[in-house]
Amino acid sequence: MLPEEVIPAGPVTLRPHTDADAESIVRACADPEIVRFIPLVPSPYTHDDALRYLDSARAAWKAGGAEFAIADPETGEWLGNIGIKPPLPRDTAEIGYLVAPWARGRGVATAATSALTGWGLAHGLERVELLADVENLTSQCVAMAAGFRREGVRRGAEGRRDGTRRDLVSFARLRTDSGERVRPYLPWFPGGSLTDGTVRLRPLTPADTEEYLALQVLPDVVEHSVPPEAPSVEEAAERCRSAGADWLAGTMAQAVILDASTGAFAGDIQLSGVIPPLGQAMTGYSVLPGFRGRGFATRAVNLLVGWAFEHTPLERIIAGTSPDNLASQRVLERAGFTREALMRGLLPGPDGTRLDDLQWYRLREAPGGSGGPDGPDGSGGR
């Protein structure tokens, strides 16, 4: 059995629960974010539910787990819950937490998670796991800030309130790990978006699903996609749902292109095929017909590549176009890319055919492009 004690955790303290915490727990568990991401929390949440939780928290200690209140170190005010579930085989346990809405934005979750994980590893655990909903980017950032490394996605690992299943991103910290913050290879855009005054880029989100799908099923966009197939509604929803987690994983930075003056959805752009040892990634883009010929694609490429060279270790960005997609080639030329090679039969085409790919590159030291008009097409990046 783990020892019940008080753990200093920087801006907070981890302490045993008291019955006086019940009222605050009820208030916090009415928060939509807690209801959304913690399916086991009853909704609506009552005082009796809080008392049942406090009973289970005390019982967890006897079962080999540990449940703490996250509290203000000076006032003792309850700010959240955090716990280690009873160890699994081979000295492995799972950590979980919730933080009250009024305590967020000041490092409470990271400090508590880091402290409790270190405490558990010091008391015999060899591995601590943390699972986060694929859409819960805040929790994934907390895991990385507390020294956890991403291991993958557990598909359909847990049920939702509506009867569907949700994917969980798996993180773990070992006794042998340093516990230092894991910094993402692809950081978020500074301030959340990039703009040159004409276009704005921001990360793709689940709220973009309808407009994203409408773009991806356009015949000329499908023609230049790899493979040249339109996504289903489910596939488009999954791409949007997992886009943030992919960004944090360092595998893809996918953004929407917006008209900076109106906020209208104009297209999408991404960095994919990220290869850290080579310092290389690939860009691709698509623009809705109503925004073509206005320089949006060129501006978006310049913004994304400029961000990549300033804020990531990437040294080389590549792109591919169909040999006959002259509009996309003009976009890349205006964005400072240089033609490199024609790869014969590189890509899968319709009905089992193979397609040529004209490849382009831009290096970190290369100057940016002009941001001029795309030309008559500018539909897609191949």
| Max intra-chain CA distance, the chain | 71
| Interatomic CA distance for residues 228 and 235, integer angstroms | 14
What pLDDT is recorded for position 194?
98
What pLDDT is recorded for position 366?
66
Contacts made by residues 30-35, CB under 8 angstroms, sequence distance 24+: 31/100, 31/101, 33/101, 34/98, 35/161
Instruction: Tell how strand 280-287 and strand 316-321 pair up.
Output: parallel
What pLDDT is recorded for position 63?
86
What pLDDT is recorded for position 377?
44
Averaged pLDDT, groups of 10, the chain, 382 residues long = 82 96 97 92 95 94 91 96 83 95 96 97 94 97 98 92 90 97 97 98 98 97 92 96 98 98 98 97 97 97 98 98 95 97 95 95 80 55 63
What pLDDT is recorded for position 373?
61
What pLDDT is recorded for position 89?
65
What pLDDT is recorded for position 201?
98
State the pTM of this model. 0.91
Instruction: Using the CB atoms, write b or e for 266-278: b if 16+ within 10 Å.
Output: bbbbbbeebeeee
